[in-house]
Amino acid sequence: MAEARGTGPRVTTSVVAALQTGAVGPEGLLGWEDEIRASVTVPGPETRALAGLSARTGASLVVGVIERDGSTLYSTVVFLDPSLGLVGKHRKLVPTARERLVWGRGDSSTLPAIPTAAGLAGAAICWENHMPLLRAAMYAKGVELWCAPTADDRDVWQASMRHIADEGRCFVISAKSWPVH
């Protein structure tokens, strides 16, 4: 990230649960106790640190975290602006597969379209990218930058990202949680 400073508008997206080392990996999710320990509050010290990084680099950041709200964990994306800090968040609407054992459901109240210097940004987390009504809702908001953190390493993921770029007439930025072997 430190090298990101330069000229022109910049937006970067991270992987799912970026702040939690090893939270998602080739074998899947950590145990629920590890996820609780790795979770963050939004807003909180971790989002303030990310806001500082955004300010130092001049880049808008879209970062995946495991959010803790009371006793519930969420797969969440936070949006950080270089001048304003934390400007929004999106909680994954429906946890996928094993995630349902640990993470709560989000709702459409956290489905923002966030202005950035590079355009209007939105995010869909992993399997949400395969939800036609979510995509339609984001397209209706005029999203120009589609951020897609994922744990999916299948070939079909690239096809899905190309489809979203074409269908939504938007740029797509996707980041994967672990190296493809």
In tens, the pLDDT along 118-163 reads 999 999 999 999 999 999 999 999 999 999 988 888 889 999 999 9
Give the tens place of pLDDT for each residue, 37-68. 889 999 999 999 999 999 999 999 999 899 99
Give φ, ψ of 12 to 5 degrees: -130, 145
DSSP-derived letter for residue 66 is E
Cα 171 to Cα 181: distance, rounded to the nearest angstrom: 26
pLDDT attached to residue 180: 45
The model's pTM is 0.84
How crowded is residue 32: how many other Cβ atoms within 10 Å of its Cβ? 12
Query: What pLDDT does 116 receive?
Result: 93
Closest CA to 36 of 111, 96, 104, 88: 104
| 29 and 35 Cβ atoms separated by less than 8 Å | yes
